[in-house]
Structure 1
C-alpha cells in the first residue's frame, strides 16, 4: 500500500523548478524538430520512449492498481495529450513567442478554473504572484516582437490547449490516487498519450529521426522532458497545491531564454532582465512565509499531514 507523506513544500518547489527548466528547454527543440518530422510521429515516439523507460526502471509499478487509479491516469493523459497535440499542430502557424505566451496563460486560467469548478479559494498573495507571472510572460514573449503572421484559428486552438493544461494541473493536484501512486499514474499518463498519438501516426507509418543530432534531441525530449519531467511534476504536486505549482511552472519562458543565450548567443536585453525579475518575484510570493508554506500549515495544500496513530 502506498503511503501518503506529510507535505514538504521545499522539495515540491525544487521538483517543479526542474520541470519548468526541462519543459522550457524542450520548447525550442520541439519547434525545430517538427519541421523534419510529422507532429503525431514525434509525439508518439517521444511519449512511447518515456513510457518504456519508466516501466523498465520499475517493472512492477503497474501491478495491483485499482480501477480508479487507472482511470485517473488515463484522464490526466487525455487532458495533457490532447493539449500537447493541439499545441504542436498549431506551432506550424504561430510564431514561437505567441505560442509560448498563449500556452503560458494557463497560469491565469488555473485559479479561475479552480474557483469556478471546485470553489477553490486563492489568497491575495497568490493572485499577486499569478499577475506578476502573467506580466513576465508578456515581457518575455510579446514585447520581444512576434515575427510572421498570426493565424486566428491556431491562436484559438493554442488557447484551448492552455485550458486543458490548467484542467490537468487542477486534476493532478486534487487527485488522491495521483498522490498515493505518483509513479504509476505518471506511467499511465505517458502511456495514454503514446497510444493516442500512435493511433494518429500509424496510418502513414512512423517517421524516425534522420540524423544522430535529431535522435539526441528526441532522447532529451523523451527522457528529460517527458519521463523525468512528468515524474518530477507528479511528485512535486504532492507537496505544492495547483495554483502555486502553475506559478512555478510559468517560469518556462525564462529557461527558454537562458537556453537561447547559452547555446545560440542571443544577447541579454532589458526584457530578459525585467521578465526574469518578475518571475523571481512571483516565485518568492509563492514560497515565502504566508505564501505556499502558510497555505500548507492552514491545511489547504494538496496533501494533509499525517497524524500520529494511537
Structure 2
C-alpha cells in the first residue's frame, strides 16, 4: 500500500486557516444567536456545511466501512455536544472568559493523551502548551469583562473544552479519520446537524431574516464549518494532536485582530503580551526539534486518503 509522507508545513498552514476561520466565527455567532435560537443556528450552520461538501463529492460516502461511520458519528457527537454547550453558555459569559475557558483544551489535550492513550509529549511541546495557556490568560484577564460570570455557564463551557480535547485526540489517532478524511468530515457535520436539528425542530426552525444575517450564516457554514472542518481533518494527518491544539489556540489572536480591524478596539498591553506568547508557542511547535522532528512519531506510515467522489 502506498503511504503519504508526513508534510508538517502543509498541516501547519491548514490548521492556521482553521484557527483564523473559527476565530472569525466566534464574534459573528455571538451576534447572530441574539436573533436566531442556538439550536436553530447550529442545525442550519452544520446542515448547510454537510450538504455543500456532499454536493462537491456526492459519492464520498459510498463503500465506507462500519468503522468509518462509527468514527464520524462519534466525532460529530463529541464536537456537537461541545459546540452546543459553548453556544448556549455564550448568553451568560463574557466573550473573553468563554474564549479562555474553551481554549483550555490546549492543556487538557496532552493531559488526556497521557492518561488515556499513554502518549508521550516532548518538553518542547509542553513548554508551547504553557505559553499558549499564558497567552489566553493575557487575552482574557487583561481585558475588561463584559458582564458577570455565571457558574453553570462556566462549567458547561469547561465541559465543551474537555469534549474538544477528546475530539482532537480521536481525530489525530484514528486510522479511519486519516484515511477517509473527506467522508468522515461529511459524517461529522451531518451528525451535528441531525443532533441540533432534533433540538430545534419541535419549536420550528427560525431562519435569518435579513441579507446581512444570511451572509453571516453563509460564512459560518461554508468557511468556518465546511472548509474549516475539512482543513482540520487533512491538517491532523500531518500534525500530532497536541501540536494541532497549540496551533488552534491562536484563535483569540484572530478574534482580536478582527476586533481591531472592524471595530477599532485598542491594542492594549494584554493584546501585545498575548500575541507575543502565542507567537513564541507556535515557534516552539514548528521549529526544528519540535513538530518537524516528531511529526507522526510512534504512529507508523500515514495511510493514503481514500479516493472519493
TM range (shorter): over 0.9
Equivalenced residue count is 303
CA distance in 2, matches of 1:160, 1:262: 32
Shift in CA distance, 26/284, structure 1 to aligned 2, threshold 3 Å: same
CA distance in 2, matches of 1:301, 1:244: 15
CA distance in 2, matches of 1:164, 1:250: 15
CA distance in 2, matches of 1:5, 1:18: 21
- Alignment partner of 1:72 is 2:76: no
Runs of 5+ consecutive residues of structure 2 not aligned to the other structure = 304-309
1:187-198 superposed matches below 5 A:
187-198=186-197
Structure 1 residues 1-34: Cα deviation after superposition (integer angstroms, max 9, x where no partner): 9x64111000000000000000000000000000
Shift in CA distance, 302/139, structure 1 to aligned 2, threshold 3 Å: farther
CA distance in 1, matches of 2:111, 2:19: 21
Runs of 5+ consecutive residues of structure 1 not aligned to the other structure = none
- Alignment partner of 1:251 is 2:260: no
CA distance in 2, matches of 1:40, 1:17: 28
Match of 1:300 in 2: 297
Structure 1 residues 148-207: Cα deviation after superposition (integer angstroms, max 9, x where no partner): 111001100100000000000000000000010000000000000000000000000000
Match of 2:109 in 1: 110
1:83-232 superposed matches below 5 A:
83-232=82-231
Shift in CA distance, 6/140, structure 1 to aligned 2, threshold 3 Å: same
Quote the offset at 1:220 in angstroms. Answer: 0.2
Structure 1 residue ranges, 4+ long, deviating more than 2 angstroms after superposition: 301-306
Quote the offset at 1:301 in angstroms. Answer: 6.2
CA distance in 2, matches of 1:253, 1:168: 20
Shift in CA distance, 303/173, structure 1 to aligned 2, threshold 3 Å: farther
Please tell me whether the aligned partners of residues 128 and 282 of structure 2 are also in contact (alpha carbons under 8 angstroms): yes
- Alignment partner of 1:276 is 2:275: yes
Please tell me whether the aligned partners of residues 239 and 302 of structure 1 are also in contact (alpha carbons under 8 angstroms): no
Structure 1 residues 269-299: Cα deviation after superposition (integer angstroms, max 9, x where no partner): 2211111111010001000011001112xx5
Structure 1 residues 237-273: Cα deviation after superposition (integer angstroms, max 9, x where no partner): 0000000000000000000000001111111122111
Tell me the C-alpha RMSD between the 2 structures.
1.2
Match of 2:80 in 1: 81
